[in-house]
Amino acid sequence: MPRGSGLKIGRVFGIPIYLHATWFIIFLLITYLLAEQFAGFPPNPVLAKDWVVAILASLLFFASVILHELGHSVIALRYKIPVVSITLYVFGGLARIAKEPEKPRQEFNIAIAGPVVSFVLAGIFWGLSLVLARNQLVSTAVVRLALINGMLGLFNLAPGFPLDGGRILRAAAWGITGSYARATRIASMSGKVIAYGMILGGAFYAVKINLLDGLWLAFIGWFLLTAAQESYTQVAVREALAGLRAADVMSLDLPTVPRDISLEEYGHAVLRTGRRCHLVAGNGRLAGMMTVHALNRIPREEWSHTSVQAAMLPLDKVRWAAPEEPVLTLLDRMQSEDINQMPVLQSEPDPHVVGIVSRDSILRVIQARMEIGNLPSQ
């Protein structure tokens, strides 16, 4: 699974936290709306103190979103499920986990943790508003934070995947049917129904009541629809690859190049054959691996006087696959480490390379299995 994208702002419990570019849009919008509310809306002017409190309230809101996602992450880590990253988007946050839960109970506990954190924060902020009641500006800001966290928890409990409520629905369907794939289809379908409802409701609201609010609701529905469709596709992919090993999808063709040829010569070989990955040989022994990605790291004007050996990936840095490794595990590794090709190493009787697995070869298998379906084993 790919790591988070955007601006990295730190780590919590070893989990990197990123700000996506879209986060800045919603941060500015929320800050502006809060500042106007604190001022009492036009014609009242927005004072400096209103801006300061609005900025602090916005930062506290997004800190609450991070805590919501950390709620999921802490429970996932408890089940020894690695958490790749947490990313803040325009619609909230997303905790990326390296693998799916193994049991329905794990799925339920991970999913429910986020809304529970949001409701606890809503209670804390509500209590603070009572303590700080004498300061109207600060008290108003804290009340807004209590309401926003409560709404965040409620919204995420909607039974549509990939919202937390959709994951809870999947956990229940998984426990009843015993099938993770079938449960995901049910949760994804529910997510699509909710998304279409938000899109239609947003369109109606935009025409009849308020254009901006209606368009915003429809946009959120479109986002959820896209996410629900992606989740369904991911399950279809996992079904297509279930039971396959690296040896089943690897290419037996092992193109090699000498380590002493120039990068310009290597570039011509790539253009001539279309192969994007080669093993590098020297003195009758395997020296490393050369790819188009490694080639493009070197400035083109240096290709004529730079050897393949200088640009290749040395053996001690090459990631290897075993012939019996499940393709699903292998694909997760390739995605998380951003690797396009991986040699397959047979360790017995003597270690030797028997093939190469590429993302392209895995994608071809996925496409063929989706078009034809599984056939009875011969």
| Domain assignment of residue 162, yes or no | no
301-319 confidence digits (pLDDT tens): 999 999 999 999 888 888 8
Q: Is residue 100 part of a domain?
A: yes
What is the dihedral angle through the alpha carbons of 193, 195, 201, 202, rounded to the nearest 10 degrees? -170
Give per-residue pLDDT as tens, 317-365.
Answer: 888 889 999 998 888 788 777 788 888 988 777 778 888 898 888 888 8
> Are residue 53 and residue 106 in the same domain, yes or no?
yes
Give the dihedral sign, CA 314/16/234/71. Answer: positive
Tell me: do 25 and 107 sit in the same domain: yes
Residue 77 forms part of a structural domain = yes
In this structure, what CATH number is given to the domain that contains residue 269? 3.10.580.10
Task: Please report the pLDDT score of residue 286 as a whole number.
Answer: 85
Q: Does residue 338 sit within a domain?
A: yes
Specify burial of residue 195 (Cβ count, 10 A radius: 0-12, 13-18, 19+): buried
Mean pLDDT of 185-196: 90
Q: Please indicate, yes or no, if residue 307 is contained in any of the structural domains.
A: yes
User: Could you tell me the pLDDT band of residue 5, with boundaries at 50, 70 and 90?
Assistant: low
Least confident of 58-62, 83-87, 92-96, 134-138: 92-96
* Claim to verify: residue 51 and residue 81 sit in the same structural domain: yes
Residue ending a domain, among 242, 274, 290, is: 242
**116 and 202: one domain?**
no
Do 146 and 61 belong to one domain?
yes
Do 278 and 237 share a structural domain?
A: no
Name which of 235, 277, 276, 251 is nearest 366 in CA terms: 235
133 pLDDT higher than 60 = yes
The answer to whether the beta carbons of residues 171 and 164 sit under 8 Å apart is no
Percent of the chain beyond pLDDT 90? 36
Q: What is the pLDDT of residue 377?
A: 52
Q: Pick the residue with more confidence: 135 or 113?
A: 113
Taking the CA atoms of 228, 234, 238 and 239 in sequence, report the sign of the dihedral they define: positive
Whether 174 is in a domain gets the answer no
Q: Which of 242, 264, 286 is the last residue of a domain?
A: 242
Res 376: pLDDT: 53
Q: 195, 216, 242: which is the final residue of a domain? A: 242
pLDDT exceeds 60 at position 191: yes
Structural domain span for residue 345? 246-371
Same-domain check for residues 74 and 198: no
User: In whole numbers, what is the pLDDT of the chain averaged over residues?
Assistant: 86
Rg from Cα positions in the chain = 26
Please indicate, yes or no, if residue 173 is contained in any of the structural domains.
no
Confidence of residue 1 (pLDDT cuts 50, 70, 90): very low
Position 91 scores a pLDDT of: 66
Burial of residue 337 (number of CB atoms within 10 Å: 0-12, 13-18, 19+)? exposed
Answer positive or negative: Cα dihedral of 71, 194, 96, 171.
Answer: positive
Assigned domain for 1 exists: no
The domain tally of the chain equals 3
Averaged pLDDT for residues 222-227: 83
What confidence tens digit (pLDDT) does each residue in 6-50 have?
Answer: 788 888 888 899 988 878 888 888 888 888 887 775 566 778 888
Residues 185 and 126 in one domain: no
235 and 277 assigned to the same domain: no
In sequence order, what DSSP letters do the residues of 206-264 get, joined into one string? HHHT-HHHHHHHHHHHHHHHHHHHHHHHHHHHHHHHTT-BHHHH-B----EEETTSBHH
Answer yes or no: do 198 and 304 share one domain: no
Q: d(Cα 158, Cα 216) in Å, to the nearest integer?
A: 18
State CA 155 to chain mean position distance: 20
Of the ranges 47-51, 265-269, 368-372, which one carries the lowest mean pLDDT score?
Answer: 368-372
* Shared-domain flag, residues 229 and 308: no
Mark whether 192 and 290 lie in a shared domain: no
